[in-house]
Structure 1
Amino acid sequence: MAQPQPLFDYTGHLPECPTWSEPEQALWWADIIEGEIHRYHPATGTHRVLRFPEEVGCFALREKGGFIVAMRSAIWLADKNGLLTHKVCDNPSNPPLARFNDGGTDRQGRFYAGTFWGPADYNGAMLMRIDNNLTPKVIQCDIKGANGLAFSEDGQWMYTSDTPNDVIYRTPLDAQGEPGKRDVFRTFNNEQGSPDGAAMDVEGCYWSALFDGWRIARFSPDGEPLEEYRLPVRCPTMVCFGGEDMKTLFITTTRENMEQDEIEQYPLSGAIFTLPVSVAGVKKPLFIER
């Protein structure tokens, strides 16, 4: 069985939101705490860093070029060099206490972004969506830490996780991609790790990074565990599919809130790993503006 290997000589603070660009054959990701978006081109080894004025919770590549970026206080459009060009909306949560976290695009090219409630004393976070005409809309509340966003290839399901509450949800979508009532897909205990960022494969299975769990796992459409892969670090944060055949899994990890002795013992904490898998992943659509 293949084992995860470091992508290249890099460790970040809190890498998240890995995103594969098929036209570029390059991997993009955010380092939330450092306020950065990174690009790495495996064929040439080129590594580029764009810096932003606040934490970058998540982002998506735009059909028109550049990014839509969810920072702590607001969601912005940015050009290919990271220059903020248009403020889409303010963070509808309490920005000092709830920064943006996980997000991505649905089959219609709309951008979803969820927040993470910093005090962790109640479910004060939410999931919102930016439609193609740049209209913001709150989609779900009663969340402590929004994560795990992924959409099935057939457009029938949206998956999300609430990491601090150790649960993955599944929400049905209608023909226009509008969400219905969410249901519990799977719950976890402390020994298993907490479900963090995720991705879908073409067989309808859900791949989850299990924070504090030393591993990633693949779950069937019924929520049954099918495969798991152990990592040499404690806290994976998200996965995405990429490569020419979409059969390479990219895995981000973190060293946030780790003591120095743990970092010295597990120096790859914060690295990005790759893993060849036997099934292709669902491609992430670009954000489409109309």
Structure 2
Amino acid sequence: MAVQRSEPVSIWALGGPLLEGPVWVARDAALWFTDIKRHRIYRYDPASGERSEWAAPDQVGFVLPIAGGGFVAGLKTGLARFDPADGSFAPLCDPEPQHPNNRLNDATVDPLGRLWFGTMDDGEATVSGCIYRLGADGACVRESDLCSITNGPALSPDGRILYHTDTLGGLIHACDVGEDGRLSNRRLFAAIPNEEGYPDGPTVDAEGCVWTGLYKGGAVRRYSPAGELLEVIRFPVSAITKIAFGGPGLKTVYATTARKHCTPEEVAKEPREGDLFAFEVAVPGLPCPEIRVGV
């Protein structure tokens, strides 16, 4: 049975080059997301309609909540503690000082409060990115093989399976997560031909199904925990980067989009490219845990 209950519509006309990292933060009932290329962090409150933004010191791929207040931001220069009260950023950890052309891209928090994130070549060509976990000692632990554009990770509802994406390869992988946070048994979860779009950020719902935005595919896909394609939600724009579940009952899907690789002719045809979108679904998402480890 289809879970989609309404069509995706633009709710914030940003026209951003690369919106990313949407996350519903329960403690303030708002959606947070970024524009990587504009060095911006955004907050959207659907109840009041309030829209807020902050300038970041560099490219910023994600912001995720810390238990007790504040956020961890994924900057090009590494992880930083972000305080929206004064807009400050305090460096925490640079996972790849040996790769100055890499940047942090996408992230999630597991049920134990551990931060997982990926890096990538900012030029989207060199095979130099991988998945990391923030350890209890504040150090970044590498947990994957190299690829050029990492996306995710995302986790199953019990936190025992981690999904991460090789975007240019069109591959979504699954791994088992050990009690110590180590990954094992890496296997192919889904493969998407490039002509159908590039799998971007993955997200998991309450039924354990994996959703992925399709960059240059004009859609979001929903896969069963076994990797079977269940549903395709079409958009009026071509580049969907990631979704997040939010709102009452976590049944509103928010989707970030981008116009970074669009020609002027494509933007004229799809003027809502780079906006924040929303639509309703019948199956809820999962709440985002707060970061409790390593900060």
Q: Same fold (TM over 0.5)?
A: yes
Of residues 81, 89, 94 in structure 2, which corresponds to 1:84? 89
Question: Where does 1:12-51 land on structure 2 (aligned, <5 Å)?
Answer: 12-51=16-55
User: Which amino acid in 2 is paired with 1:84?
Assistant: F
1:106 corresponds in structure 2 to 110
User: Which amino acid in 2 is paired with 1:125?
Assistant: G
Give the match's secondary structure for 2:27.
coil
2:287 corresponds in structure 1 to 283
- Is 1:182 the equivalent of 2:186? yes
Partner Cα distance (1:148, 1:75) in 2: 16
Q: Is the 8 A contact 2:32 2:63 kept in 1?
A: no
Deviation for aligned residue 1:256: 0.8
Partner Cα distance (2:136, 2:249) in 1: 29
Q: Is the 8 A contact 1:196 1:209 kept in 2?
A: yes
Query: Cα 1:88–1:107, aligned 2, differ >3 Å: closer, same or farther?
Result: same
Q: Is the 8 A contact 2:78 2:103 kept in 1?
A: no
User: Which amino acid in 1 is paired with 2:82?
Assistant: A
Deviation for aligned residue 1:89: 1.4
Partner Cα distance (1:135, 1:263) in 2: 42
Q: Is the 8 A contact 1:156 1:177 kept in 2?
A: no
1:117 corresponds in structure 2 to 121
2:278 corresponds in structure 1 to 274
2:75 corresponds in structure 1 to 71
User: Which amino acid in 1 is paired with 2:89?
Assistant: L
Give the alignment's TM-score, normalised by structure 2: 0.93
Question: Where does 1:183-222 land on structure 2 (aligned, <5 Å)?
Answer: 183-222=187-226
Deviation for aligned residue 1:5: 1.2
Give the match's secondary structure for 2:291.
coil
Q: Is the 8 A contact 1:58 1:113 kept in 2?
A: no
Q: Is the 8 A contact 1:40 1:47 kept in 2?
A: yes
- Is 1:137 the equivalent of 2:141? yes
Q: Which has the higher contact order (CA 8 A, sep 6+)?
A: 2
1:97 corresponds in structure 2 to 101
Give the match's secondary structure for 2:265.
helix
Cα displacement string for residues 221-267 of structure 1 (whole angstroms, at most 9, x for unaligned residues): 11111011100001000011111101111110001132222212211
Q: Is the 8 A contact 2:150 2:167 kept in 1?
A: yes
1:55 corresponds in structure 2 to 59
Aligned-pair RMSD on alpha carbons? 1.7
Q: How many residues of Structure 1 are paired with residues of Structure 2 in the alignment?
A: 289
Query: Cα 1:267–1:212, aligned 2, differ >3 Å: closer, same or farther?
Result: same
1:240 corresponds in structure 2 to 244
- Is 1:231 the equivalent of 2:274? no
Partner Cα distance (1:132, 1:38) in 2: 28
Give the alignment's TM-score, normalised by structure 1: 0.94
Q: Is the 8 A contact 2:29 2:247 kept in 1?
A: yes
Cα displacement string for residues 187-226 of structure 1 (whole angstroms, at most 9, x for unaligned residues): 1112221110121011110011011100001000111110
User: Which amino acid in 1 is paired with 2:176?
Assistant: P
Give the match's secondary structure for 1:161.
strand
Q: Flag structure 2 segments of 5+ consecutive residues without an equivalent.
A: none
Which stretch of the first structure deviates more once superposed, 140-149 or 171-180? 171-180
Partner Cα distance (1:144, 1:69) in 2: 21
Query: Cα 1:120–1:56, aligned 2, differ >3 Å: closer, same or farther?
Result: closer
Q: What is the percent sequence identity of the aligned residues?
A: 31
Give the match's secondary structure for 1:263.
helix
Question: Where does 1:136-175 land on structure 2 (aligned, <5 Å)?
Answer: 136-175=140-179
1:252 corresponds in structure 2 to 256
